[in-house]
Amino acid sequence: MRKKARHLWRTFWYFCQEAWLGLLRNGMMSVAAVLTGMVALLILGSSLLLQANLAYLADIVESQVEIVAYLRDGTDARERTSLLRRVERIPHVREVRFVSKEVALARLQESFKNRVVLRDLLDTNPLPDSLEITVHDPARIPEVVQEVRRVPGVEEVTYGRQVIDRLLALTRTVRFTSALGVALFAGVAMVIIVNTIHLTILARRQEIEIMKLVGATNWFIRWPFLLEGLLEGFLAAIPVIAFLSLAYIVGVYRLATVIPFLPLLEPPAILPRVALVLVTTGAGMGIGGSLISLHRFFHPKEPRARDPLGRPRRKPIHPLGRLRVR
Amino acid sequence: MIVFQGVSKIYPNGVKALQGVNLHISPGEFVFIVGPTGAGKSTLLRMIYRDEVPTRGKVFVGSQDVTRLPSRQIPYLRRRIGVVFQDFKLLPHKTAWENVAFALHVTGAPEEEIPRRVGRALAVVGLLDKALSFPHQLSGGEQQRVSIARALVHEPPILLADEPTGNLDPATSWEIIQLLAAINRRGTTVVVTTHNKIIVDMLRKRVVELSEGMVVRDQQHGLYAQEG
């Protein structure tokens, strides 16, 4: 058992050495592969951080969304009470608060602080009485809004849908553009990795030929190349993870002092997940590139039959077919 | 041991390398395959170690039809067949010892067995004293001995040699053929393709002559060319 383990370990060590040698032998090509991979992963990582925070923000905003029902002017106290009861009976409604026009004006005044004094500008209060309605589940808001609109005495109903819609639209845009960028750079990185591995394969062509001749299994031959691709993927992922983590921690700290009320995900809540995605994507790019390269080397396309002038040979013409033409 | 049944090979470019070859080689035989360049000698050898698949027909090694061997089984077939070439195919940055050990390393042989087996293979070809030399420090004949040692290190029942003396002077060629004959006497089946008339005529072993992909002669104790 221990002998077997030692043997496996030695084989693995051999593969690693070969992979590392291949990486060094390709020099600038390896550097190019790693750098392009880094760009792809950097876009992917920053986009993931941005998306996660936007989603988090949307969640919070959504949970705070209120429906505001403006009441027809001149509604008296008795009507108001029955109206309140009716709205409270609508399914999914959690709480209904009455906000009188005076309170509304006072709130507006407060939001302006002391820069503007509304009392000086307006002789009458233009704001209507209103009901502030919260729901148990933000997803039910549209239904509740429909119901509230039907209640007599309600003039207009608004809710924070627009804010959420905009946030969601922004998230979609971020996701789409970053996906495009990631696809582009990951594609370029893969192409470069395919070529570096191809160079390694060519440099070791003689060795591979002999390995096949003396009966090495295909996987034994392939492993060093897979590891070389994997190594390039890791080498791209690690600095990106380090950089993004640092930038995010510093950025969250800075933003928190500048805009204290902005909800941001804590670094420990998001960074491990992003790191995992980056490592797997990097590894995937590397292994994918190696596999493509190995496949092209081990399964070359059969050269197509050619006529003496070098043109691809067409299907043989059936002798009877020829006769029929005549 | 090795059986060809109605084997034909037509390459995609239309070249007919072999046409309806039937051949039976018994265990322990020594066979020369002769014929002009392009007669299909190398193609024939390559089919034995499944480097090439016939277009039609079957090739048996032992009781196994190697034309129907799944590709993941091919390495295990090749560990039972040693192959030697005209250009030796040695790795230039490895010593004679390392070149032979390479065949064991890459097939996952137990580490502690490697020195003993490499030593024995090099002893068979009489090159133990040059074990630490690099290929460029060895003569052509010595390099071919290293490649024979590598072919033998798995102790295969079959040894194939494709023009093993093609790059060697007559005296060295004779030594190499003597070595192959000695290996054959120890029980290994040996199949040699060659252009070398003198060697074939001196050894008087079985001769299979190919011409344009067809077996035109199969003679025990034959000469390079048809007698009379």
Q: Best residue in A7, A11, A213 to probe B by mutation, most B CBs within 10 Å? A: A213
Q: Is residue A99 part of a domain?
A: yes
Given a cut of 70, whether residue B8 has pLDDT beyond it is yes
Q: Are residues A110 and A75 in the same domain?
A: yes
Q: Is residue A252 part of a domain?
A: no
Q: Flag if A207 and B103 touch (Cβ within 8 Å).
A: no
Supply the pLDDT for residue A21: 82
Q: Flag if A218 and B76 touch (Cβ within 8 Å).
A: no
Report chain B residues touching chain A, CB-CB < 8 A. Answer: 12-14, 49, 71-72, 75-79, 83, 89, 91, 102-103, 105-108, 110-111, 150, 154
Stretch A236-254: mean pLDDT, rounded?
A: 93
Q: Are residues A135 and A97 in the same domain?
A: yes
Say if A302 is an interface residue toward chain B (CB within 8 Å): yes
Q: Are residues A78 and A219 in the same domain?
A: no
Q: Which of B18 and A111 is assigned the larger pLDDT?
A: B18
Q: Which of A318 and B200 is assigned the larger pLDDT?
A: B200
The number of distinct structural domains making up chain A is 2
Q: What is the CATH number of the domain that holds A109?
A: 3.30.70.3040
**Predicted confidence (pLDDT) per residue in A184-240, tens digit:** 888 888 888 888 888 888 888 888 899 999 999 988 888 888 888 898 899 999 999
Say if A220 is an interface residue toward chain B (CB within 8 Å): yes
Q: Are residues A76 and A152 in the same domain?
A: yes
Q: Are residues A45 and A94 in the same domain?
A: no
Q: Is residue A106 part of a domain?
A: yes
Q: Are residues A267 and A153 in the same domain?
A: no
Min distance B106 CA to chain A CA atoms (Å)? 5
Min distance B31 CA to chain A CA atoms (Å)? 21
Q: Flag if A216 and B106 touch (Cβ within 8 Å).
A: yes
Q: Is residue A257 part of a domain?
A: no
- Domain boundaries, position A226: 11-61+165-196+215-247+263-289
Supply the pLDDT for residue A323: 40
Please report which confidence band the pLDDT of residue B168 belongs to, taking 50, 70 and 90 as the band edges. very high
Q: Which of A154 and B45 is assigned the larger pLDDT?
A: B45
What span, in angstroms and rounded, lies between the C-alpha atoms of B215 and B200? Answer: 17
Supply the pLDDT for residue B228: 52
Q: Are residues A123 and A183 in the same domain?
A: no
Min distance A213 CA to chain B CA atoms (Å)? 7
- CB neighbour burial string for B71-103, b if at least 16 within 10 angstroms, e if fewer: eeebbebbbbbbbbbbebbbbeebbbbbbbbbb
Q: Is residue A126 part of a domain?
A: yes
**Main-chain phi, psi angles of A257, to 5 degrees:** -80, -30
Q: Are residues A29 and A47 in the same domain?
A: yes
- What percentage of residues in chain A have a pLDDT greater than 90? 13
Q: Flag if B108 and A303 touch (Cβ within 8 Å).
A: no
Residue type, A99: V
Q: Are residues A183 and A274 in the same domain?
A: yes
Q: Are residues A147 and A284 in the same domain?
A: no
**Predicted confidence (pLDDT) per residue in A97-108, tens digit:** 888 888 888 887
Q: Is residue A275 part of a domain?
A: yes
Q: Are residues A224 and A149 in the same domain?
A: no
Chain A residues whose beta carbon lies within 8 Å of the beta carbon of residue B14: 305, 313
ipTM: 0.90
Please report which confidence band the pLDDT of residue B162 belongs to, taking 50, 70 and 90 as the band edges. very high
Q: Is residue A207 part of a domain?
A: no
Q: Is residue A238 part of a domain?
A: yes
Stretch B101-117: mean pLDDT, rounded?
A: 91
**Predicted confidence (pLDDT) per residue in B183-203, tens digit:** 999 999 999 999 889 999 999
Q: Residue window 20-79, chain A: list those with CB within 8 Å of chain B.
A: none
Q: Are residues A169 and A26 in the same domain?
A: yes
